Amino acid sequence: MKPKQVLAAIILVSGSAQSWAAPAPVSEAARSPNSIEGRLQTLESLMQSRNLMQAEMQQQLELLQDEVSQLRGISEETSYKLEKVLQRQRELFQEIDNRMSTAPTSQPTAPIATSPVVGPIDAPEISANLSENEAYDRAVALIMKDKRYDAAIPEFEAFLKSFPGSVYESNAHYWLGQLLSIKNDDAKAIVHFNTVVESHPDSNKRPDAMLKLGGLYEKQGKRDSAKQILNKLVTQYPSTTAAKLATERLGKL
C-alpha cells in the first residue's frame, strides 16, 4: 500500500473513533427517564397530580359537610315543630276534659236543696248560648278531630267577632296565639297572648300565655322583655307548672 493511502486510512479510522466516543447531547440526556432531570420531571408530575387529587377530595369533603349540616338543621327543626304540636295537643285535651267535666246535665223536675259552695270554682264557665257553644266547639274540633290547623285560625277569628265578651274569649285568643306561633307568625301571636295577659286577669290561660310571651320575646332577641314577663309569671303564679318552666327559662337567659 502506498504511504499516502496508509495515512488517509489512519485519519479516517481516528475520526470514526472520535465520533463514536463523542458524548450524547444534553437534551437527549435530559429526556432519558433514568437521568436526574428525568427523575425530577417525573416527581414534579406526580406531585402536581397528587395536589389536584387532594384539592378535589377537600372540595368533596366540604360539600359532604354542608349536606350533613343541612340535614342536621332539618332534623332539629322537625323535632322542634313536632314537640310544639304534641304540647298543643296535650293542652287541647286538657281543655276538652275540663269542659266536659263541667258540662251542664239535664235538670230534675223538682228543685233539690243544696249546700252553699264555699270558695272559688276553678272550672271554666260554660255559656248558656247554644250557638256560642257550637261555634267554639266547631273551632276546637278543627284542631282536635280534623287536624286542620290553618282552617282553625279564621274559625277562631270569626268566633271572636260574632261573640264579643264571650266566656271563651280568652281561650280563643290563647289558641290563636298557639296556632299563629306554629306558623311562625310571631307578631300576631304576641298580640293574642298579650290580650289574654292584659285583658283577662282571671283567665286560667293567663300563666300559660305569659310563658308563651316569654318564649316569643326570647326568640326575637328581646331578652329584657322576656325576663320581665317571666319574672311576673313566677311572682303572680308561683305554684303553677308554667312558673316552674319560667324559672328554668330564666336560668338560661
Mean pLDDT across 56-84: 70
Give the pLDDT of residue 115. Answer: 30
Tens digit of each residue's pLDDT (9 = 90 or more) over 198-216 = 999 999 999 999 999 999 9
Q: How many residues belong to the chain?
A: 253
Residue 243 — pLDDT band, cuts 50, 70, 90? Answer: very high
Rounded to whole angstroms, how far apart are CA atoms 247 and 227? Answer: 10
Residue 101 — pLDDT band, cuts 50, 70, 90? Answer: very low
| Model confidence at 34: pLDDT above 90 | no
Contact between 168 and 204 under an 8 Å Cβ cutoff? The reply is: no
Mean pLDDT across 158-165: 93
Give the pLDDT of residue 26. Answer: 47
Q: 3-state DSSP call for residue 107? A: coil
From 42-51, 59-68, 90-99, 130-139, the region with the lowest mean pLDDT: 90-99
Give the pLDDT of residue 132. Answer: 86
Mean pLDDT across 101-112: 38
Q: List phi, psi (to 5°) of 55.
A: -65, -40
Give the pLDDT of residue 62. Answer: 75
CATH dotted code for 131-252: 1.25.40.10
Contact between 140 and 127 under an 8 Å Cβ cutoff? The reply is: no
Residue 124 — pLDDT band, cuts 50, 70, 90? Answer: very low
Strand blocks (E) in 127-251: none
From 82-86, 138-142, 180-184, the region with the lowest mean pLDDT: 82-86
Give the pLDDT of residue 226. Answer: 94
Give the pLDDT of residue 161. Answer: 95
Which of 91, 92, 193, 196 is CA-nearest to residue 141? 92
Mean pLDDT across 163-192: 93
- Who wins on pLDDT, 152 or 97? 152
Q: What is the DSSP string of 197-218?
A: HHH-TT-TTHHHHHHHHHHHHH
What's the predicted TM-score (pTM) here? 0.53
Contact between 230 and 246 under an 8 Å Cβ cutoff? The reply is: yes
| Model confidence at 4: pLDDT above 60 | no
Would you list the domain boundaries of the chain?
33-84, 131-252
